[in-house]
Amino acid sequence: MGFWSRPKFTRPRVLSDKGIMGMNRRNIDYIGRYNPRRLYPLVDDKLQTKRIALACGVTVPDLIGTISQQHQVRHLAEMVQEWPGFCIKPAKGSGGKGITVIVRHDRTGYTKPSGAQETIDDLERHVSNILAGLYSLGGKPDVALIEALINFDDSFEGYSFEGVPDTRVIVFKGFPVMAMMRLSTDASDGKANLHQGAVGVGIDIGSGRAIRAVQFDQPVDHHPDTGRQLSELQVPDWETLLQLSASCYEMSGLGYLGTDMVLDKLRGPMLLELNARPGLAIQTANGAGLLPRLRRIEALDSQRMSVAQRVDYAREHFSIAS
Amino acid sequence: MISRKPFYAVVALLFLAGLALSLYRHFTFEVPWLPGEQRQVWSIEAKVEFEATGRPVKASLAIPGTQQGFTLLNEAAASPGYGLSFLERNGGTRAEWTIRRAAGPQELYYRVEMMADPHAEAPVPLQAPVIAPHTNQEPYATAIRQVLNRALERSADGFSLTRELIRELDSQQQNAELLAQYQDKPRLLVEMLNRAGIAARVVKGLELEDGRRRQSLIDLLQVFDDDRVEIIDPETGHPGQRDNLLLWERHSSPVLDLVGGVNSRVTFSMIRQQLPVNVALEQKFEDSNLLNFSIHSLPLEEQALFKGILLIPIGVLVVVLMRILVGLKTSGTFMPVLIAMAFIQTSLATGLIGFLLIVSMGLVIRSWLSHLNLLLVARISAVIIMVIGIISLFSVLAFKLGLTEGLKITFFPMIILSWTIERMSLLWEEEGAKEVLTQGGGSLLVAVLAYLAMNNDLIRHLTFNFLGLQLVVMAAVLLLGNYTGYRLLELRRFQPLARED
């Protein structure tokens, strides 16, 4: 950095030259054009996503159960009794809202990843809130999902603080165009949302290796909590993960899609959730704009390409390392 | 991909229709673009005095009508004991007072309000009077011929002839003195013009000057040439109709016709008033047709209501601008508009203080509610009741302390405030105080901007008077909905990306 003060704002010209996509363009030219409204329920409702994923043979975390009625809330404790850890999610939640993760529980209470203790009353209240539609879009009544915890892969040890690192891949017309890993931090309270302070690591589509990392939109080199060098990050099983992501296009029918994947120690890449309105922070994490890649695919006749062909095409053309 | 052409056509259509409607209102109904414009309204009183002789009295006074430069707003006559009627005669209107028996000095009043109005035209086009044949005796005939011949040589048309005649009468002293014995100057001029084949007549005008009393009418020449008409001052020869010259009598009839009275006199007094333009226009277009499609035709109470409603699109436009072009986050998309509307009722400072007081106090109490483990609907309801409680409390407190401003706090939309508190409280729990400040601050900033726009005199005037502008706002919103460029805050957000290489 120079010793002059950084300019706060950049010129639109600079951004458009780099192909950075803005929120308005995303909404009009991609989400509005490629994502038919009628398909939204498939991704906005995690229960439906799970259903179609299972139908297509895509691996997803195990479902312990669902709670859809207020009177079922009392059965929460017995529902999770057999499971060492679990997480409670609103089926129609957005942006990671309303997700509570319990890593272990015993007679004294339920422990969150941060070590904070919750009582069964806290959890029941949380489920009630979910049912009342507190976290759902438009405040509609919702269903609570109770899912098994993911045994996350050891290769990510030290990269994430109190949370599951997940991989967001933007899939455009079935092509994985950009990827990033989201690492939870102390600041993000174990959540993988970048605007809450999670670290975003841009992942090279070609190799699955880290390109650069940002926190709060500013570049970082080390994980702020664990101090681990982020440039060493390499996602194992990258090819499988990309193929899984790319196949979500056929599964959901959505042309512009954000797929959130996790790596399970035992079961490999798993689909966590789909997002019909994926955010733009992935560009900052990658240090690159989405537009050139999206335009390249728009210009391509991709009608007959198989999942494997699409992944190969993406790895060849969207790789930084090559 | 669907062609965007129909979309742009619709936008262009909306824009043009809105513009056309507004222009129509401006030019046909003279609604000014700027607020606070005033129109001069002359209140003129004609006083007729005479001595009644004890017999039936009939007094007929020529009265003015709408004419070039002036619109008649209303008229009234005061005359105790007299019967009054307004009659049309010879194309002019007259007020006629009648009474069976009157004796002694009499006073009749006629009052008219005329609005200075550059767009006004006489309802009936002027008819040129018939040219009457004149035969003159000597020595006048020679004098008239001399003056007329000189003037004819130096003129081109009726108007220049009139001016030359006046000039000749000024320069040919002897002839002028001779002819002055024959007839007064205006009538002499009419006669000479008639000889030259030009139609003309004498009309009566009133010079308007604020606060003048006991004025009388002046003679003016109305000269017709082909289709054109000009008013010419017979003394100076200056042409043209001046702003402060009202033609009182335009058909060569006597100003006052009196039967049954003597020593009559008509005097005029006048004052100038400034009326807000909308009041003046309302009077002018009182009985206008359906085409006058404006809110002004509604009863006053509904008008006041619409004044507020028509501002909402402006507030909405501000929200759209702030969200699409700037990228501000607000809690609840259009909550800022509703808050801004409350600010309009309360005034900005009171509103801001009230809003912050209610929301911050609400948040404190809401944090206690969240421990109660309530169902959502019940909790929101509790928050609503709580907000009403807070509002009542502040109102009573403010009243006891003598702060009447504080009473305005009741203008806040309570349901909206409750939702705001609920959302802020959840935001606080989930994302921390920083996000609450960002979104709350963003909402408040947008609300203040919307308030400034909606409270602007010019904008209030335009939205209320030009319904067509709603279509223009609509077109703007549609266009903004099509904007794919960067938001202002994205230029900062992605600024680290631009710094590299």
Q: Each residue of A13-47: pLDDT tens digit?
A: 888 888 899 999 999 899 989 999 999 888 888 89
Residues 243-272, chain B: which have Cβ within 8 Å of A? none
Q: Rounded to whole angstroms, how far apart are CA atoms A36 and B233?
A: 79
Mean pLDDT of A195-200: 84
Name A179's bridge partners. Answer: A169, A203
Per-residue pLDDT of chain B (501 residues; tens, 9 = 90+): 456 788 899 999 999 999 998 888 888 777 778 877 777 888 888 889 999 888 888 998 888 888 888 888 888 888 878 888 888 876 678 888 999 988 888 888 898 888 887 777 777 767 777 777 777 777 788 888 888 888 888 888 888 888 888 888 888 877 778 777 887 888 888 888 888 888 888 888 888 888 788 888 888 888 888 778 888 888 887 776 677 788 888 777 888 888 888 888 898 988 887 777 766 666 666 655 544 556 666 666 777 778 888 899 999 999 999 999 998 888 778 888 988 888 888 888 888 888 888 889 888 888 888 777 677 778 888 888 988 898 888 888 888 887 777 777 777 788 888 888 888 887 887 777 888 888 888 999 999 999 999 988 889 888 888 888 999 999 999 999 888 889 998 888 888 877 655
From chain B, pick out residues whose CB is under 8 angstroms from the CB of A8.
492, 495
B/e letters for B26-38, b = 16+ CB within 10 Å, e = fewer, are eeebbbeeebeee
From chain B, pick out residues whose CB is under 8 angstroms from the CB of A10.
491-492, 494-495, 498-499
* Shortest Cα–Cα distance, B383 to chain A (Å): 15
Run of H or E including B83? strand B83-89
A132 touches chain B (CB under 8 A): yes
Helix (H, G, I), strand (E, B) or coil at A1: coil
Name A66's bridge partners. Answer: A145
A140 touches chain B (CB under 8 A): no
Predicted local confidence at residue A3, as pLDDT: 40
Nearest to B1 among A24, A33, A98 (CB): A33
* Shortest Cα–Cα distance, A10 to chain B (Å): 5
A25 touches chain B (CB under 8 A): yes
Predicted local confidence at residue A313, as pLDDT: 92
Nearest to A12 among B373, B491, B500 (CB): B491
Q: Rounded to whole angstroms, how far apart are CA atoms A117 and A102?
A: 9
A23 touches chain B (CB under 8 A): yes
Pairwise CB contact (< 8 Å): B484 & A29: yes
B375 touches chain A (CB under 8 A): yes
Number of residue pairs across A and B with CB atoms under 8 Å? 90
A177 vs A319, higher pLDDT? A177
From chain B, pick out residues whose CB is under 8 angstroms from the CB of A221.
none
Measure the N-to-C terminal CA separation of chain A; round to a whole number of Å.
28
Interior angle at CA A12, CA A213 and CA B443, nearest 5: 80
Predicted local confidence at residue A1, as pLDDT: 38
* Shortest Cα–Cα distance, B297 to chain A (Å): 40
Residue pair B276/B38 in contact (Cβ under 8 Å)? The answer is yes
From chain A, pick out residues whose CB is under 8 angstroms from the CB of B324.
24
B498 touches chain A (CB under 8 A): yes
Strand order in the sheet with B57-63: B83-89, B92-99, B57-63, B256-259
Pairwise CB contact (< 8 Å): B499 & A134: no
Q: Rounded to whole angstroms, how far apart are CA atoms A57 and A72?
A: 30
Hey, of A15, A18, A33, which one would you mutate to test binding to chain B, going by the most B CBs within 10 A of its CB?
Answer: A15
* Shortest Cα–Cα distance, A143 to chain B (Å): 14
B415 touches chain A (CB under 8 A): no
Which DSSP state fits B103?
E
From chain A, pick out residues whose CB is under 8 angstroms from the CB of B500.
287
**Minimum Cα–Cα distance from A285: chain B residue:** B497
Which DSSP state fits A320?
S
Nearest to B324 among A18, A24, A283 (CB): A24
Pairwise CB contact (< 8 Å): B375 & A121: no
Domains of chain A with bracketed CATH: 12-43+153-317 (3.30.470.20), 62-148 (3.30.1490)
Q: Rounded to whole angstroms, how far apart are CA atoms A262 and A272?
A: 7
Token reading at B451:
């308030």
- How is A295-313 classified by DSSP, letter by letter? HHHHTS--TT--HHHHHHH
B381 touches chain A (CB under 8 A): no
From chain B, pick out residues whose CB is under 8 angstroms from the CB of A14.
498
Nearest to B486 among A12, A129, A218 (CB): A12
Q: Rounded to whole angstroms, how far apart are CA atoms A267 and A263?
A: 8
* Shortest Cα–Cα distance, A92 to chain B (Å): 16
pTM for the structure as a whole = 0.69
The count of C-alpha atoms lying within 13 angstroms of the C-alpha of B238, restricted to the half-sphere facing its C-beta, is 6
Nearest to A125 among B373, B484, B494 (CB): B373
Residues 210-269, chain A: which have Cβ within 8 Å of B? 214, 217-219
pLDDT at A273 over 80: yes
From chain B, pick out residues whose CB is under 8 angstroms from the CB of A132.
375-377
Name A204's bridge partners. Answer: none
Split at pLDDT 50, 70, 90, the class of A177 is very high
Nearest to B497 among A6, A11, A287 (CB): A287
Q: Rounded to whole angstroms, how far apart are CA atoms B69 and B116?
A: 6
Pairwise CB contact (< 8 Å): A18 & B498: yes
B491 touches chain A (CB under 8 A): yes
Predicted local confidence at residue A322, as pLDDT: 44
A129 touches chain B (CB under 8 A): yes
Of A203, A162, A199, residue with least CA distance to A179: A203
B153 touches chain A (CB under 8 A): no
Cβ atoms within 10 A of the Cβ of B296, count? Answer: 18
B5 touches chain A (CB under 8 A): no
Pairwise CB contact (< 8 Å): A284 & B497: yes
B430 touches chain A (CB under 8 A): yes
B496 touches chain A (CB under 8 A): yes
ipTM above 0.90 for this complex:
no
Cα–Cα distances in Å, from B35 out to A18, B20, B85? Answer: 48, 20, 39
Interior angle at CA B105, CA B100 and CA B108, nearest 5: 70
Token reading at A303:
């009608």
pLDDT at A207 over 70: yes
Pairwise CB contact (< 8 Å): B497 & A6: no
Pairwise CB contact (< 8 Å): A219 & B491: no
The alpha helices in B285-347, defined as continuous H runs, are 300-309, 312-320, 335-346
Cβ atoms within 10 A of the Cβ of B291, count? Answer: 9
Q: Each residue of A60-109: pLDDT tens digit?
A: 998 999 999 989 888 888 888 888 889 899 998 876 778 888 888 888 88
